[in-house]
């Protein structure tokens, strides 16, 4: 009797590791399904924004088909186009990560622009100022400098928020302007009334190029991976893959580490986080330091891979586009790769669109603002296309008053 009962009992421990298999497969399918479902709203937001964009083009008496055709042709029509799309994507990934990371911690970083610009300057400085190093050391050092530059600039609003309650939205924007002026000064040419900036590109005879640093040394230049036929100097550099790698790392940091858990806890409910023993002030500063560093990295790969020097007029809009990139991806680091590629492609194709249809390049910004609006107010999209709202989800609140958390 016991022998008849025993067999079903004995195999059980052997089978039991298989037991969770079935539900796991179901959840895998479930997550796939739900992640597909979560793509519906952003996709419709993009579609609707493009539709409204066509109306704007028609109002200007131009041809939207020609415009969007030119856009697609410019972004994907050749290996040069794809290379340019990827080149524009890379800094957007990193700056988008900066916004997303801060957002997860309950902070709205509008200062990616200033942090990026500080990162590029410091990175360029190490790139041209430190000589005699092999590339294996010089490149990481210059990239690190970019991170540090951005991190220091991000630390200021972090400290202000943590210890005085100054809202990060205003302080980061003010620091954007301060950074812009600081850089303008650092690379300003010699004038009758004032000496040149400390980092301006000046020859030994004393004449300075306007608004730029000297070229970085070849030992600091990011290696080229692919050179398109008619690229006009645009080459695919290592930084593009570095950006994707960082996105994966940030995803792991946010979702798979204790630090990430604490970060999200502070973001969702600072009060509860404080009761569980987390120092909200400390987390606020660390969040802004890392967010700033990520934006600084965006500047670094731009300098080390594309422009090879710091110029005052570069990266004018990356900082602000990063907000749309991050929100479109619902602040998910992996999804940011996709939304950054979309925005990068729009910029890469913009010039072609302008030549093909005379639609001004600025239309792209309008479309991006519309996408941002529809993603932020997904109820509009849900109402328009009759999509059911998702269940209750935890949301980070940004606008709860002006003071300390």
Partner 1 sequence: MADFSIDPSAIAAVVNASIRNALPITLGALSGIVSERSGVVNIGIEGMMLAGAFAAFSANVVLSVNGVSPVLQAQPIRLLLATFAALIVGGLMATLHAVLSIRFKVDQIISGTVINIFATGLTGYLYVSGASTLGGLPPMIVNPLNADSGLLFNIANVVLNKDILTYITLILVPLVGFALFRTTWGLRTRSVGENPRAADTLGINVYRLQYTNLWISGMLAGLAGATLTLAGVAFERNMSNGRGFIALAVMIFGMWRPSRAFVGALLFGFATALQGQLQFLGGEKIIPHQFIGMLPYILTLVVLAGFVGRARPPAHVGQAYEVE
Q: Does 56 bind partner 1 (CB under 8 A)?
A: yes
> How many Å from the N-terminal Cα to the C-terminal Cα in the chain?
68
User: Least distance to partner 1 from the beta carbon of 177, Å?
Assistant: 5
When asked if residue 162 is in the footprint of partner 1 (CB under 8 A), the reply is: no
Cite the DSSP H helix spans in 60-134: 64-76, 79-104, 112-129
Q: Is 194 in the site for partner 1 (CB under 8 A)?
A: yes
Strands 236-237 and 224-226: antiparallel
Which one of the spans 9-17, 130-138, 190-198, 268-276 is the region binding partner 1 (CB under 8 A)?
Answer: 190-198
Q: Which residues pair with 212 in a beta bridge?
A: 311
From CA 394, how far away is CA 331, in angstroms rounded? 13
Count the alpha carbons within 13 Å of 134 in the hemisphere toward its beta carbon: 1
Tokens of 397: 């609140």
**Could you give the count of Cα atoms lying within 13 Å of 4 in the half-sphere of its Cβ?**
1
Q: Is 241 among the residues that bind partner 1 (CB under 8 A)? A: no
Of 377, 384, 385, 390, which one interacts with partner 1 (CB under 8 A)?
Answer: 377
To the nearest 10°, the Cα dihedral for 312, 316, 318, 320? 130
Check binding of 379 to partner 1 (CB under 8 A).
yes
Cα–Cα distance list, 352 to 313, 339, 357, 393 (Å): 21, 21, 8, 41
Q: Work out how close the CB of 122 gets to partner 1 at its nearest, in angstroms, rounded to a whole number.
A: 18
**401 binds partner 1, rule: CB under 8 A:** yes
Q: Does 272 bind partner 1 (CB under 8 A)?
A: no
Binding flags for partner 1, 163-182, as an x/- string (CB under 8 A):
-xxxx-xxx-xxx-xx--xx
Instruction: Answer yes or no whether residue 373 interacts with partner 1 by CB under 8 A.
Output: yes
Least separation in angstroms between CB 80 and partner 1: 26
Under the criterion CB under 8 A, does residue 342 sit at the interface with partner 1? no
Determine the interface stretch with partner 1 among 125-133, 159-167, 241-249, 286-294 (rule: CB under 8 A): 159-167
Q: Is residue 397 near partner 1 by the rule CB under 8 A? A: yes
Q: Which is nearer to partner 1, 193 or 204 (CB)?
A: 193
Q: d(Cα 217, Cα 377) in Å, to the nearest integer?
A: 47
Give me the DSSP letters along 85-100.
HHHHHHHHHHHHHHHH
The count of chain residues that interact with partner 1, using the rule CB under 8 A, is 52
Question: Interface residues with partner 1 (CB under 8 A)?
Answer: 56, 108, 110, 160, 164-167, 169-171, 173-175, 177-178, 181-182, 184-185, 188, 193-194, 197, 320, 323-324, 327, 360, 362-363, 365-370, 372-373, 376-377, 379-380, 395, 397-404
């Amino acid at each position: 009797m016991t022998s008849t009962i025993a067999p079903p009992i004995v195999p059980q421990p052997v089978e039991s590791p298989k037991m969770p298999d079935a539900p796991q497969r179901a959840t895998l399918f479930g997550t796939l399904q739900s992640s597909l479902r979560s793509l519906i709203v952003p996709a419709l937001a993009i579609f609707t924004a493009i539709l409204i964009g066509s109306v704007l083009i028609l109002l200007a008496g131009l041809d939207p088909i020609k415009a969007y055709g030119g856009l697609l042709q410019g972004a994907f029509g050749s290996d040069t186009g794809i290379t340019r799309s990827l080149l524009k994507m890379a800094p957007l990934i990193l700056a988008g990560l900066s916004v997303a990371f801060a957002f997860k911690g309950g902070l709205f970083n509008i200062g990616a622009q200033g942090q990026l610009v500080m990162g590029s300057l410091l990175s360029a400085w190490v790139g041209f100022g430190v000589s005699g190093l092999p590339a294996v050391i010089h490149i990481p050092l210059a990239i690190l400098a970019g991170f540090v530059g951005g991190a220091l600039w991000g630390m200021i609003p972090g400290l202000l928020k943590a210890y005085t309650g100054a809202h990060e939205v205003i302080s980061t924007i003010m620091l954007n302007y301060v950074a812009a002026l600081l850089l303008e000064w650092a690379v300003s040419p010699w004038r009758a009334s004032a000496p040149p900036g400390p980092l301006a590109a000046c020859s030994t005879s004393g004449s300075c190029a306007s608004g730029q640093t000297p070229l970085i040394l070849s030992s600091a230049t990011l290696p080229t991976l692919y050179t398109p036929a008619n690229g006009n100097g645009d080459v695919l550099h290592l930084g593009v893959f570095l950006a994707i790698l960082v996105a994966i790392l940030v995803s792991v940091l946010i979702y798979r580490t204790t630090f990430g858990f604490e970060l999200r806890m502070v973001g969702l409910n600072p009060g509860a986080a404080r009761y569980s023993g987390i120092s909200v002030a400390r987390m606020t500063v660390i969040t802004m330091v890392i967010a700033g560093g990520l934006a600084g990295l965006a500047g670094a790969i731009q300098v080390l891979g594309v422009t090879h020097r710091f110029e005052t007029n570069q990266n004018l809009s990356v900082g602000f586009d990063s907000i749309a990139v991050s929100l479109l991806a619902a602040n998910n680091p992996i999804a940011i790769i996709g939304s950054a590629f979309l925005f990068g492609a729009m910029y890469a194709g913009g010039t072609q669109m302008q030549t093909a249809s005379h639609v001004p390049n600025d239309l792209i910004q309008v479309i991006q603002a519309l996408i941002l609006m529809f993603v932020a107010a997904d109820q509009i999209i849900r109402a328009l296309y009759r999509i059911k709202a998702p269940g209750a989800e935890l949301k980070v609140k940004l606008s709860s008053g002006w003071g300390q958390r």
